[in-house]
Structure 1
Amino acid sequence: MTRLRQLGAVALLALAPLLSPAAFAQSPAQNTLKIGFICPFSGGSADFGLSARQGAELAVEEVNRAGGFLGRPLELVFKDDEAKPDNAQRIAEELISKDKVVFTIGFCNTGVAMRAIDTFQNAKHVLVVPVSTGTAVTAKFPAKDSYIFRMSARDAIQAPFLVEEIVERRKLRRVAIFADKTGYGEGGFKDVSAALKERGLDPVYVARFDIGVKSLVSEMEAARDAGAQAIVSYTVGPENGVVTRSRGQAGVSIPLFGSWPMSFRTVWDTAGSAANGVFMVQTIIEDSGNSRRNSFILGLNRKLQGKPVPSLMAAAQSYDAVLFMFQVLLQAGFDTSGPNLKRTMENMKKPYLGVVATHDGPFSADDKDAFSRNMIFLGRWNNGSIDFAYPADARRSAIASKKSK
């Protein structure tokens, strides 16, 4: 019996005393349980949007092979937001009002998410964010009232982590910031600046740029001339590739650090060997020390037919989001209303053993972010692959990390 079948059987036994025979008789047996899924499947952010989709699809395939939810197959209702904020509200309304999804998983881009979250909140419809890390996404509404949950490491964790690495561990105090002009770049710029300010520092140079920029060579030269000892980049994959390539073209040897999108395959495809030694925040790095993680990666590789994964983090966090919510559904029983799902997520009875992390009570009435600071690592580009920057982190990662209380 698979882990999912075991989980379903145990949950049904636990629910049986609470449900009348009539409730079982009225339960729909064959119609699908619809789950909304919003990410960019086209455009410049498709690299991590498609990865997120592939991870979610893999999870749903596993659930349905194991019998679905109380006999009902899960069905993902996909919406391509194209990474365009103007699409966000319309898509959210379609999923809730027209498609009648039970809950929604979605958003890769912070600026897109911010245009839609009011729609989910006002409808009391649970939104689980598996990719977007902008701090504002889970900060807009009071936590006790919020229907916006996140299963990715927010930038309020990532930015201080990077600044601590640079300033405290490496003793580099002159930091330049490269950030795009989207909501994501703006939020990251503010978070990095705030983390520097806590240490009595200001950035020595700031470069702001549009999505689609082709060269930042002159900006790299300006950062060097300003005396920068380290550079922090806050943008998405293709633009991180431009940042990295431009650093090489300018002959700048200043250490380069990025938030998690620095790990996208497009960075290596754009910058090639110039990316070697570039650092980034990660929640998961491919390794051989964790059996659950290895099983997931093998399944993902089969799905991609051996092609490189554009974003392992996006795929893995979306996979975990689907299976975590399946566990939520099992605990919630037949009441899949938004308010009951919210209450259930805030009071989980059993841990979810994920491929990225062990989520044991990840949410509460006062906390809608599943990741804490101890659950992230520093990764590094090494000849087309992402390695752990520190061997101790590789050993620590063999045991899926768990949120600190």
Structure 2
Amino acid sequence: MMQALRPFLTALALGTLTSLVAAQGTIKIGEFASMTGKEATYGQASHKGTLLAVEEVNAAGGVLGRKLELILEDNQSKSGESATIVKKFISRDKVVAVLGEVASSRSLEAAPICQNAKIPMITPSSTAPEVTARGNYIFRVCFIDPFQGTVMAKFARGTLKLRKVALLTSVSSAYSVGLAKYFKEKFAADGGTIALEQRFAEGDKDFRAQLTAIKAAGVDGIFVPGYYAEAALICRQARDLGITLPIFGADGWESPELVQIGGKAVEGTYFATHYSPENKDPVVAKFNERFHQRWGNVSDTLTGLGYDSVMMLVDAIKRAGTTESAKLREALATTRNFKGVTGTITLDAQRNPTKSAVVLTVKNGQFVFVDSVDP
């Protein structure tokens, strides 16, 4: 009898050993980001925060006795690449979670794949509401466009005292279209008027026709919900046309490239974002010190959000006591009062955070804190 059972017992022992080895192995996390291409500064900044968090967690002994293994893939800022990468993460790399992306359009590519595979995905900074609407395995650490659009509408009416505003929106960006929608609703509700709406597409270089129409419309401000490359060119061309009105945008403006491309033309412009290194909170101050020691420069919104995406995931793994997908998803969904460097995060029923926003201005080529707006 024992001789007959020996192969079975050997196989059982080998299986147990394999399970133990797997349990003691690394916790694989996939990160897809725009490390090259048009929005490379976004992906690079976010990755610095992500990598710093992974290094700090591992230096402290890891989580559940295991080290984190970050697998980074570059989507080159191109549509279609993110879906391919995330499929690889799930089928080949066997990741327990996916982090990404900065741009909402690329997160929307990846979200259905993660949802179908039941692998939790956390976007650090995709603000379009549609992202988390893709399913209950999709999360984020940033606030969403309705809040951001509302913040800038309130700022335009309450602080800048604007009455008639023109919109210059990227029709090829879900992020831009969403922001414009929510800005319009709140600005009108507060007694403002959208006098003119003009459109462009991502990658456009010449905005003179739209700006000439805006100049003739007699508005007292221009809202540009888009990314830094186009925003900087719009500001330059507006000033070249003699338009001296306030120009303002959202978190897609936040990149050193805004000032490098826009120069003096972006001085005095405003944008909403998630974080300011000028925040005197001790958590932010200590993060700034560690970030500067690691990378030699000052932290920004994207580095902070990248960092928080890892730390929120690690917090959930600890509370779940496992990396098993269903239990990890449940732990993430019940995140409450998590103290991140970009604010205290409580996820709502749609897996979106309730947290504050800040408004920055460009002054002497630097991003300077103007105001903080609570939910």
Local SS of the residue matching 1:234 = coil
Partner of 2:318: 330
Partner of 1:182: 173
Partner of 1:155: 145
Partner of 2:291: 300
Aligned counterparts of 1:135 and 1:288: Cα–Cα separation in 2: 27
Aligned counterparts of 1:76 and 1:243: Cα–Cα separation in 2: 37
Partner of 2:77: 83
Give the conservation status (yes or no) of the 8 Å contact 1:352–1:358.
yes
Return the match for 1:377 from 342, 358, 364: 358
TM-score (norm 1): 0.82
Aligned counterparts of 2:212 and 2:311: Cα–Cα separation in 1: 46
CA drift at 1:190: 2.4
Aligned counterparts of 2:324 and 2:65: Cα–Cα separation in 1: 18
Local SS of the residue matching 1:157 = helix
Asked if 1:97 is matched to 2:83, the reply is no
CA drift at 1:197: 4.4
Return the match for 1:120 from 99, 103, 114: 114
CA drift at 1:186: 2.2
Asked if 1:346 is matched to 2:324, the reply is no
Q: Deviations over 1:153-199 (max 9, x none)?
A: 21111111111221244432211111222222222222223334445
One-letter code of the match for 2:149?
A
Asked if 1:251 is matched to 2:242, the reply is yes
| Structure 2: gaps (5+ residues) | 1-15
Local SS of the residue matching 2:38 = coil
Alignment of 1:4-403 (within 5 A): 26=20, 28=22, 31-141=25-135, 146-180=136-170, 181-199=172-190, 203-287=194-278, 289-306=280-297, 312-334=300-322, 336-348=323-335, 351-359=337-345, 362-364=346-348, 366-372=349-355, 375-390=356-371, 393=372
One-letter code of the match for 1:313?
T
Aligned counterparts of 1:288 and 1:39: Cα–Cα separation in 2: 27
CA drift at 1:152: 0.8
Q: Deviations over 1:320-359 (max 9, x none)?
A: 110111111111113x1221111112234x7432211122
Aligned counterparts of 2:328 and 2:193: Cα–Cα separation in 1: 43
Local SS of the residue matching 2:98 = strand
Which entry has the higher C-alpha Rg, 1 or 2? 2
| Structure 1: gaps (5+ residues) | 1-21
Distance 1:388 1:343, change over 3 A: same
The answer to which of 226-235 and 214-223 deviates more is: 214-223
CA drift at 1:258: 0.5
Local SS of the residue matching 2:224 = strand
Identity %, equivalent residues: 26
Question: How many residue pairs get matched?
Answer: 358
Aligned counterparts of 1:115 and 1:137: Cα–Cα separation in 2: 9
Give the conservation status (yes or no) of the 8 Å contact 2:347–2:354.
no
Q: Deviations over 1:4-63 (max 9, x none)?
A: xxxxxxxxxxxxxxxxxx99x947575211111111111011111110100000001100
Distance 1:351 1:170, change over 3 A: closer
Give the conservation status (yes or no) of the 8 Å contact 1:37–1:105.
yes
Partner of 1:6: none
Cα RMSD (Å): 2.3
Give the conservation status (yes or no) of the 8 Å contact 2:157–2:192.
no
Aligned counterparts of 2:347 and 2:280: Cα–Cα separation in 1: 27
Local SS of the residue matching 1:85 = coil
Aligned counterparts of 1:30 and 1:385: Cα–Cα separation in 2: 46
Aligned counterparts of 1:259 and 1:185: Cα–Cα separation in 2: 9
Local SS of the residue matching 2:130 = helix
